[in-house]
Amino acid sequence: IVLVFAADFLSKQYLLNLLVNKYGDVILDPNAICAKCNINGVIASWSDIIGGDYGLSNLFNIHFIWNKGVSFSAFNFMMPIILSVLTGGIIVWLAYYLFKKSSVYERLPLAFIIGGAIGNLVDRIRFGAVADFIQWHIGGLWTFPAIFNVGDMFITFGVILYIINLFVQRRKCIRSFKD
């Protein structure tokens, strides 16, 4: 949980520091409008922000946005405090399940989900929105429709891993009854 949270928090902090140096403190205000940087959709290449390409530009762009909602900006009409309380409640419930009731195969996926969710909750408490900045694409051929962050990647990977583990465990259970 701590490593996932740290990866998410540090990646966002690094990018925010780079963007503040380039565009100023206005980038930290999700409600601000910045004529220089179009704060509702800063599109920049890795080389613009970091000063080098590092071979990533054919797969990822930095497309910085403040997401006031949840996945795919759903529920962006809700007040940040409501989303924070709901998110906090889900995190507490998942953590309780992880530490008190989970099976061995559930622990890593749940840790991924909880760590990513905590990272996004910290953003929502600090800024009233979540910093999303990764846009995945394949050259100029296809672009993933959502913009996400490291915490979102861990949440998604955790959910996929959890579902795979459930199917594997179910098959093992069915086989044990047949034998």
DSSP 28: G
* Structure token digits, residue 130: 């979540």
Render each residue's pLDDT in the chain as its tens digit; 179 residues: 999 999 999 999 998 888 888 777 877 887 765 545 554 455 555 556 655 544 566 777 777 888 887 665 555 656 778 889 999 999 999 999 999 999 999 999 999 999 999 999 999 999 988 998 888 887 778 888 888 999 999 999 999 999 999 999 887 777 777 76
Question: Which SS3 state, helix, strand or coil, does residue 44 take?
Answer: strand
53 classed as catalytic = no
Which pLDDT value is given to residue 51?
Answer: 55
Tally of helices (H runs) and strands (E runs) in the chain: 5, 4
Residue 179 is among the residues annotated as catalytic for this protein: no
- Pair 137, 143: CB distance under 8 Å: yes
So what's the pLDDT on residue 27? 76
pLDDT for residue 39: 47
| Under 8 Å between Cβ of 80 and 155 | no
What is the DSSP secondary-structure string of 48-103? HHHSS-TT-TTTEEEEEEEESSSGGGTTTTS-HHHHHHHHHHHHHHHHHHHHHT--
Enter the pTM of the model.
0.83
Q: Which pLDDT value is given to residue 156? A: 96
Exactly one of 29, 48, 152, 179 is catalytic; which is it? 152
132 in helix, strand or coil? strand
